[in-house]
Protein backbone atom coordinates (compact mmCIF):
# COMPACT_ATOMS: atom_id res chain seq x y z
CA UNK A 1 0.00 0.00 0.00
CA UNK A 2 1.32 3.42 -0.97
CA UNK A 3 0.61 6.88 0.43
CA UNK A 4 1.41 10.33 -1.00
CA UNK A 5 2.13 12.49 2.02
CA UNK A 6 4.96 14.81 0.95
CA UNK A 7 6.85 15.89 -2.14
CA UNK A 8 9.73 13.55 -1.31
CA UNK A 9 7.39 10.63 -2.01
CA UNK A 10 7.90 11.41 -5.71
CA UNK A 11 11.11 10.84 -7.67
CA UNK A 12 11.92 11.65 -11.32
CA UNK A 13 11.26 8.08 -12.49
CA UNK A 14 7.81 8.01 -10.87
CA UNK A 15 7.05 11.55 -12.05
CA UNK A 16 7.88 10.56 -15.63
CA UNK A 17 5.57 7.54 -15.32
CA UNK A 18 2.74 9.66 -13.93
CA UNK A 19 3.21 12.38 -16.56
CA UNK A 20 3.00 9.88 -19.41
CA UNK A 21 -0.26 8.63 -17.97
CA UNK A 22 -1.52 12.17 -17.34
CA UNK A 23 -0.81 13.09 -20.96
CA UNK A 24 -2.73 9.99 -22.07
CA UNK A 25 -5.66 11.03 -19.89
CA UNK A 26 -5.44 14.64 -21.11
CA UNK A 27 -5.70 13.51 -24.74
CA UNK A 28 -8.43 10.99 -23.87
CA UNK A 29 -10.52 13.70 -22.20
CA UNK A 30 -10.10 15.95 -25.23
CA UNK A 31 -11.41 13.12 -27.42
CA UNK A 32 -14.22 12.38 -24.90
CA UNK A 33 -13.09 8.78 -24.48
CA UNK A 34 -14.84 6.59 -21.94
CA UNK A 35 -12.34 5.66 -19.19
CA UNK A 36 -13.22 2.94 -16.70
CA UNK A 37 -10.01 1.85 -14.97
CA UNK A 38 -11.36 2.55 -11.46
CA UNK A 39 -14.87 1.11 -11.80
CA UNK A 40 -15.93 -0.26 -8.42
CA UNK A 41 -13.45 1.88 -6.47
CA UNK A 42 -14.60 4.53 -3.97
CA UNK A 43 -12.65 7.66 -3.05
CA UNK A 44 -13.40 9.60 0.12
CA UNK A 45 -12.59 13.32 -0.02
CA UNK A 46 -12.20 14.17 3.64
CA UNK A 47 -11.64 17.92 3.81
CA UNK A 48 -11.41 19.68 7.17
CA UNK A 49 -10.58 22.97 5.37
CA UNK A 50 -12.14 24.84 2.48
CA UNK A 51 -11.23 23.89 -1.09
CA UNK A 52 -12.47 24.39 -4.63
CA UNK A 53 -9.89 23.21 -7.17
CA UNK A 54 -8.21 20.44 -5.16
CA UNK A 55 -11.40 18.83 -3.98
CA UNK A 56 -13.34 19.18 -7.22
CA UNK A 57 -10.44 18.07 -9.43
CA UNK A 58 -9.87 14.95 -7.32
CA UNK A 59 -13.57 14.17 -7.40
CA UNK A 60 -13.80 14.85 -11.14
CA UNK A 61 -10.72 12.68 -11.71
CA UNK A 62 -12.30 9.79 -9.82
CA UNK A 63 -15.58 10.09 -11.72
CA UNK A 64 -13.74 10.34 -15.06
CA UNK A 65 -12.09 6.99 -14.27
CA UNK A 66 -15.42 5.34 -13.54
CA UNK A 67 -15.02 5.40 -9.76
CA UNK A 68 -17.31 6.79 -7.09
CA UNK A 69 -16.90 9.53 -4.50
CA UNK A 70 -18.11 10.08 -0.96
CA UNK A 71 -17.34 13.41 0.68
CA UNK A 72 -18.20 15.99 3.28
CA UNK A 73 -18.42 19.75 2.76
CA UNK A 74 -16.45 20.66 5.89
CA UNK A 75 -15.37 17.73 8.02
CA UNK A 76 -14.54 19.92 11.01
CA UNK A 77 -18.21 20.95 11.21
CA UNK A 78 -20.18 18.26 9.37
CA UNK A 79 -18.53 15.07 10.57
CA UNK A 80 -18.09 13.44 13.97
CA UNK A 81 -15.08 15.72 14.53
CA UNK A 82 -17.68 18.25 15.68
CA UNK A 83 -18.58 15.75 18.40
CA UNK A 84 -14.99 15.35 19.52
CA UNK A 85 -13.89 12.36 17.44
CA UNK A 86 -10.17 12.34 16.70
CA UNK A 87 -8.67 12.01 13.24
CA UNK A 88 -7.31 8.51 13.87
CA UNK A 89 -10.73 7.05 14.68
CA UNK A 90 -12.28 8.71 11.62
CA UNK A 91 -9.60 7.26 9.35
CA UNK A 92 -9.82 3.80 10.91
CA UNK A 93 -13.57 3.65 10.33
CA UNK A 94 -13.53 4.99 6.76
CA UNK A 95 -10.64 2.72 5.76
CA UNK A 96 -12.21 -0.37 7.36
CA UNK A 97 -9.27 -1.32 9.54
CA UNK A 98 -11.40 -3.72 11.59
CA UNK A 99 -13.50 -5.00 8.65
CA UNK A 100 -11.68 -4.45 5.31
CA UNK A 101 -14.52 -5.95 3.23
CA UNK A 102 -16.90 -3.33 4.64
CA UNK A 103 -14.66 -0.28 4.40
CA UNK A 104 -16.30 2.94 3.27
CA UNK A 105 -13.59 3.90 0.76
CA UNK A 106 -10.57 2.52 -1.09
CA UNK A 107 -8.64 5.83 -1.19
CA UNK A 108 -8.78 8.78 1.20
CA UNK A 109 -7.86 12.29 0.03
CA UNK A 110 -7.29 14.30 3.19
CA UNK A 111 -7.03 18.03 3.81
CA UNK A 112 -6.45 19.08 7.41
CA UNK A 113 -5.36 22.31 9.16
CA UNK A 114 -2.62 20.63 11.22
CA UNK A 115 0.90 20.00 9.94
CA UNK A 116 1.58 16.27 10.01
CA UNK A 117 -2.09 15.23 9.93
CA UNK A 118 -1.60 13.17 6.77
CA UNK A 119 1.24 11.21 8.41
CA UNK A 120 -0.97 10.56 11.42
CA UNK A 121 -3.73 9.31 9.14
CA UNK A 122 -1.37 7.05 7.18
CA UNK A 123 -0.12 5.36 10.35
CA UNK A 124 -3.58 3.98 11.12
CA UNK A 125 -5.22 3.72 7.69
CA UNK A 126 -6.16 0.52 5.92
CA UNK A 127 -6.20 2.29 2.51
CA UNK A 128 -3.91 4.78 0.70
CA UNK A 129 -3.86 8.37 1.96
CA UNK A 130 -3.21 11.32 -0.34
CA UNK A 131 -2.28 14.53 1.44
CA UNK A 132 -4.33 17.36 -0.07
CA UNK A 133 -2.76 19.93 2.23
CA UNK A 134 -1.85 19.83 5.93
CA UNK A 135 -1.86 23.34 7.34
CA UNK A 136 1.35 25.13 6.36
CA UNK A 137 3.04 21.78 5.76
CA UNK A 138 2.89 20.34 2.24
CA UNK A 139 0.60 19.87 -0.75
CA UNK A 140 2.32 17.24 -2.94
CA UNK A 141 -0.37 16.69 -5.57
CA UNK A 142 -0.55 20.43 -6.28
CA UNK A 143 3.22 20.52 -6.70
CA UNK A 144 2.95 17.57 -9.09
CA UNK A 145 0.45 19.34 -11.35
CA UNK A 146 2.55 22.51 -11.09
CA UNK A 147 5.67 20.83 -12.50
CA UNK A 148 3.48 19.20 -15.14
CA UNK A 149 2.46 22.76 -16.07
CA UNK A 150 6.06 24.01 -16.01
CA UNK A 151 7.16 21.17 -18.27
CA UNK A 152 4.28 21.88 -20.66
CA UNK A 153 5.21 25.52 -21.13
CA UNK A 154 8.97 25.59 -20.55
CA UNK A 155 9.52 22.23 -22.33
CA UNK A 156 11.90 21.03 -19.60
CA UNK A 157 12.34 20.57 -15.87
CA UNK A 158 16.11 21.16 -15.77
CA UNK A 159 18.22 24.31 -16.22
CA UNK A 160 15.37 26.56 -15.14
CA UNK A 161 15.22 29.81 -13.20
CA UNK A 162 12.07 29.72 -11.07
CA UNK A 163 10.74 32.72 -9.18
CA UNK A 164 8.45 32.29 -6.16
CA UNK A 165 6.56 35.45 -5.28
CA UNK A 166 4.33 36.44 -2.36
CA UNK A 167 3.70 34.53 0.85
CA UNK A 168 6.55 32.02 1.03
CA UNK A 169 6.43 31.53 4.80
CA UNK A 170 2.92 30.15 5.28
CA UNK A 171 2.19 28.69 1.83
CA UNK A 172 2.50 24.90 1.82
CA UNK A 173 2.59 24.59 -1.96
CA UNK A 174 5.91 26.42 -2.37
CA UNK A 175 7.55 24.04 0.10
CA UNK A 176 6.44 21.01 -1.91
CA UNK A 177 7.23 22.57 -5.28
CA UNK A 178 10.77 23.58 -4.29
CA UNK A 179 11.45 20.01 -3.15
CA UNK A 180 10.16 18.53 -6.40
CA UNK A 181 12.10 20.94 -8.61
CA UNK A 182 15.23 20.29 -6.55
CA UNK A 183 15.30 16.77 -7.95
CA UNK A 184 16.18 18.15 -11.40
CA UNK A 185 19.61 19.41 -12.48
CA UNK A 186 20.80 23.02 -12.54
CA UNK A 187 17.62 24.69 -11.37
CA UNK A 188 17.96 28.07 -9.69
CA UNK A 189 15.41 29.62 -7.34
CA UNK A 190 14.47 33.24 -6.64
CA UNK A 191 12.44 33.84 -3.48
CA UNK A 192 10.72 37.22 -3.70
CA UNK A 193 8.77 38.16 -0.59
CA UNK A 194 8.30 40.93 1.98
CA UNK A 195 9.66 40.74 5.51
CA UNK A 196 7.65 38.31 7.60
CA UNK A 197 6.65 36.22 4.59
CA UNK A 198 10.10 35.09 3.46
CA UNK A 199 10.91 31.48 2.67
CA UNK A 200 11.49 29.33 5.75
CA UNK A 201 14.95 28.66 7.13
CA UNK A 202 14.35 24.91 6.82
CA UNK A 203 13.90 25.23 3.04
CA UNK A 204 17.04 27.33 2.71
CA UNK A 205 19.01 24.75 4.71
CA UNK A 206 17.54 22.01 2.51
CA UNK A 207 18.77 23.80 -0.63
CA UNK A 208 22.21 24.53 0.82
CA UNK A 209 22.60 20.87 1.76
CA UNK A 210 21.72 19.84 -1.80
CA UNK A 211 24.02 22.47 -3.31
CA UNK A 212 21.19 24.25 -5.13
CA UNK A 213 21.53 27.92 -6.03
CA UNK A 214 18.98 30.41 -4.69
CA UNK A 215 18.67 34.04 -3.75
CA UNK A 216 16.19 36.17 -1.83
CA UNK A 217 14.84 39.45 -3.15
CA UNK A 218 12.48 42.13 -1.94
CA UNK A 219 11.34 43.43 -5.34
CA UNK A 220 10.19 41.34 -8.31
CA UNK A 221 11.14 44.06 -10.79
CA UNK A 222 14.84 43.56 -9.97
CA UNK A 223 14.94 39.93 -11.11
CA UNK A 224 11.99 39.31 -13.44
CA UNK A 225 14.27 39.45 -16.48
CA UNK A 226 16.15 36.37 -15.20
CA UNK A 227 13.13 34.16 -14.51
CA UNK A 228 11.71 31.45 -16.80
CA UNK A 229 8.65 30.60 -14.72
CA UNK A 230 7.20 32.93 -12.08
CA UNK A 231 5.09 31.17 -9.46
CA UNK A 232 2.82 33.65 -7.69
CA UNK A 233 1.09 32.93 -4.39
CA UNK A 234 -1.55 34.72 -2.36
CA UNK A 235 -1.06 35.70 1.26
CA UNK A 236 -2.33 32.79 3.37
CA UNK A 237 -4.55 34.93 5.59
CA UNK A 238 -6.30 31.82 6.90
CA UNK A 239 -2.98 30.51 8.30
CA UNK A 240 -1.45 33.77 9.56
CA UNK A 241 -2.16 34.71 13.17
CA UNK A 242 -0.04 37.86 13.38
CA UNK A 243 -1.82 40.63 11.46
CA UNK A 244 1.40 42.62 11.05
CA UNK A 245 2.64 40.19 8.39
CA UNK A 246 -0.46 40.85 6.30
CA UNK A 247 -0.08 44.60 6.80
CA UNK A 248 3.58 44.47 5.74
CA UNK A 249 2.57 42.78 2.50
CA UNK A 250 -0.25 45.25 1.84
CA UNK A 251 2.07 48.21 2.42
CA UNK A 252 4.61 46.94 -0.12
CA UNK A 253 2.57 44.70 -2.41
CA UNK A 254 3.36 46.74 -5.55
CA UNK A 255 6.78 45.05 -5.42
CA UNK A 256 5.17 41.62 -5.71
CA UNK A 257 2.14 42.05 -7.96
CA UNK A 258 2.16 40.83 -11.57
CA UNK A 259 1.33 44.12 -13.24
CA UNK A 260 1.40 45.15 -16.88
CA UNK A 261 4.84 46.66 -16.26
CA UNK A 262 6.19 43.38 -14.89
CA UNK A 263 4.67 41.48 -17.81
CA UNK A 264 6.34 43.80 -20.29
CA UNK A 265 9.70 43.57 -18.49
CA UNK A 266 9.50 39.78 -18.82
CA UNK A 267 8.84 39.86 -22.57
CA UNK A 268 12.44 39.31 -23.67
CA UNK A 269 12.84 36.29 -21.40
CA UNK A 270 9.42 34.93 -22.27
CA UNK A 271 8.53 34.32 -18.63
CA UNK A 272 5.40 32.32 -17.86
CA UNK A 273 3.27 33.24 -14.85
CA UNK A 274 1.46 30.59 -12.82
CA UNK A 275 -0.64 30.66 -9.68
CA UNK A 276 -2.18 27.76 -7.70
CA UNK A 277 -5.31 29.85 -7.08
CA UNK A 278 -7.42 31.22 -5.56
CA UNK A 279 -6.29 34.72 -6.46
CA UNK A 280 -7.26 37.13 -3.71
CA UNK A 281 -9.71 39.57 -5.32
CA UNK A 282 -8.75 42.23 -2.77
CA UNK A 283 -4.97 41.96 -3.06
CA UNK A 284 -4.96 41.10 -6.81
CA UNK A 285 -1.51 39.51 -6.78
CA UNK A 286 -2.03 39.01 -10.51
CA UNK A 287 -3.52 42.21 -11.89
CA UNK A 288 -6.79 41.85 -13.87
CA UNK A 289 -5.16 43.81 -16.72
CA UNK A 290 -2.73 40.93 -17.42
CA UNK A 291 -4.61 37.81 -16.35
CA UNK A 292 -5.80 37.00 -19.88
CA UNK A 293 -2.48 37.65 -21.62
CA UNK A 294 -0.75 34.69 -23.34
CA UNK A 295 1.99 33.99 -20.80
CA UNK A 296 -0.31 34.11 -17.76
CA UNK A 297 -1.43 30.50 -17.61
CA UNK A 298 -3.06 29.89 -14.21
CA UNK A 299 -6.41 28.77 -15.70
CA UNK A 300 -4.72 26.13 -17.86
CA UNK A 301 -2.65 25.17 -14.82
CA UNK A 302 -5.85 24.54 -12.82
CA UNK A 303 -7.25 22.43 -15.65
CA UNK A 304 -4.23 20.11 -15.57
CA UNK A 305 -5.33 19.10 -12.08
CA UNK A 306 -7.81 16.62 -13.52
CA UNK A 307 -5.55 14.47 -15.76
CA UNK A 308 -2.64 14.64 -13.28
CA UNK A 309 -4.85 13.51 -10.40
CA UNK A 310 -6.40 10.84 -12.61
CA UNK A 311 -2.89 9.46 -13.11
CA UNK A 312 -2.15 9.68 -9.39
CA UNK A 313 -5.40 7.99 -8.33
CA UNK A 314 -4.98 5.12 -10.79
CA UNK A 315 -1.35 4.60 -9.76
CA UNK A 316 -2.01 4.61 -6.02
CA UNK A 317 -5.09 2.37 -6.26
CA UNK A 318 -3.39 -0.24 -8.44
CA UNK A 319 -0.36 -0.39 -6.16
Residues taking part in catalysis: 53-54, 83, 111, 139
Write the CA distances from 222 to 192, 225, 227, 248, integer angstroms: 10, 8, 11, 19
Cα–Cα distance, 144 to 24 (Å, whole number): 16
**Taking the CA of residue 203 as centre, how many other CA atoms within 13 Å lie in the half-sphere pointing to its CB?**
29
The answer to whether the CB of 192 falls within 8 A of the CB of 221 is no
Sorted by sequence, the CB contacts under 8 Å of residue 224 that are 6+ apart come out as 163, 230, 262, 265, 266, 269, 271
Q: Give the span between the Cα atoms of 128 and 208, in whole angstroms.
A: 33
Map residue 229 onto helix, strand or coil: strand
Overall size of the chain counted in residues: 319
Three-state secondary structure call for residue 206: helix
114 with 134: CB under 8 angstroms? Answer: yes
Residue 49 zone, left/alpha/beta (φ > 0; ψ -120 to 50; rest): beta
- CA–CA dist 90, 46 (Å, integer): 10
Rounded to whole angstroms, the Cα distance separating 220 from 243 reads 23
Q: What is residue 186's DSSP assignment?
A: T
Radius of gyration, alpha carbons of the chain:
20
Amino acid sequence: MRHILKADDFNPKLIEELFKKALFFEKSLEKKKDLKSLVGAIMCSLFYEESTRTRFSFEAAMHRLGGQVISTENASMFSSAAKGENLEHTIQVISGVASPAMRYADIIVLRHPEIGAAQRAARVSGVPIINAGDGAGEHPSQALLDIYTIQKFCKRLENLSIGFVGDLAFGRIVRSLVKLLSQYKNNRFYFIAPEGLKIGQDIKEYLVKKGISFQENGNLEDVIGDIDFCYVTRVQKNHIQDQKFIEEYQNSKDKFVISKEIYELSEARGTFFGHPMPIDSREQEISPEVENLPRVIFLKQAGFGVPVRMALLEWIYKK
